[in-house]
Each structure stands twice: as C-alpha cells, then as structure tokens.
Structure 1
Amino acid sequence: MELYIAQDQDLDRVADLVNQAYRGLSAPDWTTESGLIDGPRTNRRDLAGMIRNGASTILLALDPASGRLSGCVALSPLEDGEWYLSMLAVSPHAQGSGLGKAIMAGAEDFARDAGAGSVKISVINVRDKLIAWYERRGFAKTGDSEPFPYDDPNVGKPLRDDLALVTLTKSLGA
C-alpha cells in the first residue's frame, strides 16, 4: 500500500478522520473509544505540533478511486532504533476491509526503511479486542503500563476511572 506523508494542508482532514474513527457516532465496538472517552481525539493544532520539526510523521492512505482520505497512522523515532506508532485510524466506512492491516504494514515498512528495529505502541488496557488485533499482527505485551493521563484535557474526557495504557512492541528485524 502506498502511504503519503501528511502536509499542513492535510491536517483538518486528518483530525476529522481520527475523531470519527476513534470517537465518532458509531456504536461502541472494538474499533472505537466510544463509551471510554468523550470529546475529540485530536485537532489541527495538536497534529501540527506532532509534525513540526519532523518530530513525527503522519502517513495517509488515500482511496485509489476517489482520492479521499481513508486512513492514517503516526510514527515517531525514539531511541536505539525504536519508533512509536500511534493514531492508527481507518474511516468508519472502510473498517473491516483490511485497510488497517495494510496501513500497519506500510507504516512498519516506512519505519524499517528509516532505520527502525522495533515499533512500540500504547493501548488502553480495557480494549481487549484491539490488543488482540495488534497481537495477531506480531506485537507482544511488554508487561509495562502507565497511568492514563486523566488530568490532560487534550485526551478528551475519560468516562471510566480504571483506564491505563498498556505497552506492546514488535521487532521489525528479519
């Protein structure tokens, strides 16, 4: 799958897509944070901050027929060849089509080509089906977790008091 690097002019569309995918009007299921967190997942300002000075790269998946944005993912280099993958989102209209798997594979290729030896993600602890989806893609729980950032207004309004972030990693080696 061909992924494109997001530019400033793409950020409004990316914010709309991510907010619909994570916290849209759809019923709660394994693909959303609906029922866990309320409010927007991101906004243009936060996305611009992510890509400023190359701190993160947001990759876009476009529908080949229409050219419309259908998915995205963000990657950030860490230390020692590890990269952080976040914000994997697929348009609610394209979910279940295999697009998420294709975006993930493209993101891993991008990180590997940039020198990554592994990829790290954080997932909300109660999202068991999402964690299992990542595990089927080769990610493994590290045993590490961190408290959910309840006091950070940028993450939305948590609707539960038992949230934490679980860390998973995947080797990108041969």
Structure 2
Amino acid sequence: MSGVRPATEADHPEIVALTNRAFRQTGPQASWNVEDMIAGDRITAELLRQDLADKPHAHLLIWRNEGGDHLGHVWLEPADAGTWYLGLLTVRPDRQGRKLGRALLGAAEEYARERGAARMRMTVINRRDSLIAWYLRRGYQLTGETRPFPYGDDRFGRPTRDDLAFVVLERAL
C-alpha cells in the first residue's frame, strides 16, 4: 500500500487534528464511528509526544496517498510474546466508505507481522457496537476481558455517560 510510513514529529499536528476530527466531531461531516459518548479532544500534541516518549518501542504510522494527502494513521506497539497492541486506527471521515480502514488495518497487521507479531490485540469502548462489529468482520474476536474506563482522567476527553468500559479484541496474524 503506497504511502504507509513511520510518522515524524512534523506529522504530529495532522495526526492530532485528524484523530480529533474522526473520533469526536459530530454533525453532517462526522465519522460513522464517532465517540459521541465522550466530549472534548481525543488527543493533544502534548499527550502524543508523551505517549511516544513513554513507549519508545511503539510505531506511529501515517498513511499518505501519492499526492501527499494524509489519509489515516495507526499506533502499533509490541506488547508481549509476539502480541502487538493496535490503537488509534484513524481514516479521514470524508474518505470513509472506500474500504480505506480495511486497507490501513491490513497494512498495520502486515507491518507488525514483518516485525515478529503473531497476534494483534486492541481495546474498544464497550458502547461502540458498530465499530466492534466492524472488527469482528475483519477476523477479530472478543476475548471476554474488559478494562475499566479511566473516569476522572480527562486527558482523553470527558465521558458523558457512566457505563463505559473497554472490551478486548484479538486476532491471530
């Protein structure tokens, strides 16, 4: 897939802007899978820099088309014993419906596989039924594990409901 490469610091402003647009923007231009149960920004430049500094083995990949347009990005992180964590999979809302998310997911899985990954793991907010179903159609399975939502930590936004948690999905590569 043309244009998938490790992001540089120069890419960070676009990554932050697209992440917030795709995850939190509501209205007619919103993504089909917006996190409308959380208000505020999904990420800030400071938080992204801190995450990269705290996790030096993580890979933040950016996807650009041949014209240089930022189509999407994804976070990959080696976890343990051949399992990698996938997060922040983001595609431009105005380009959705063209199977770009599928293509970016496949490229991310291949990138991790080439670096020794045997399994991919992720967490998704339990109330994002459409997104969970999308990952299930891509071969991911619910593990039965849940993780608590970080209530009181507004770094990723402010939840507007009190029943949020994360479900864990996993897929063999």
Q: Bin the TM-score by the shorter chain.
A: over 0.9
Judge conservation of contact 2:26–2:34 (CA < 8 Å) in 1. no
Whole-Å Cα distance in 2 between the matches of residues 156 and 39 of structure 1? 5
Q: Describe the SS at the equivalent of 2:95.
A: coil
Counterpart residue number, 1:155: 156
Can you list the C-alpha shifts for 1:52-72, whole angstroms capped at 9, x where unaligned?
3633211111122x3111101
Whole-Å Cα distance in 2 between the matches of residues 150 and 16 of structure 1? 24
Whole-Å Cα distance in 1 between the matches of residues 52 and 150 of structure 2? 22
Q: Describe the SS at the equivalent of 1:55.
A: coil
Q: Which structure 2 residue ranges, 5 or more long, are not aligned?
A: none
Can you list the C-alpha shifts for 1:42-98, whole angstroms capped at 9, x where unaligned?
01112122333633211111122x311110110011011111000001111111111
Q: TM-score under structure 2 normalisation?
A: 0.93
For these two proteins, the number of residue pairs brought into alignment is: 170
Give aligned-pair identity as a percent: 39
Counterpart residue number, 2:60: 58
Whole-Å Cα distance in 1 between the matches of residues 92 and 39 of structure 2? 18
Counterpart residue number, 1:94: 95
Q: TM-score under structure 1 normalisation?
A: 0.92
Counterpart residue number, 1:169: 170
Can you list the C-alpha shifts for 1:92-151, whole angstroms capped at 9, x where unaligned?
111111110000000000000010110100001011110010001110000000111112
Counterpart residue number, 2:44: 43
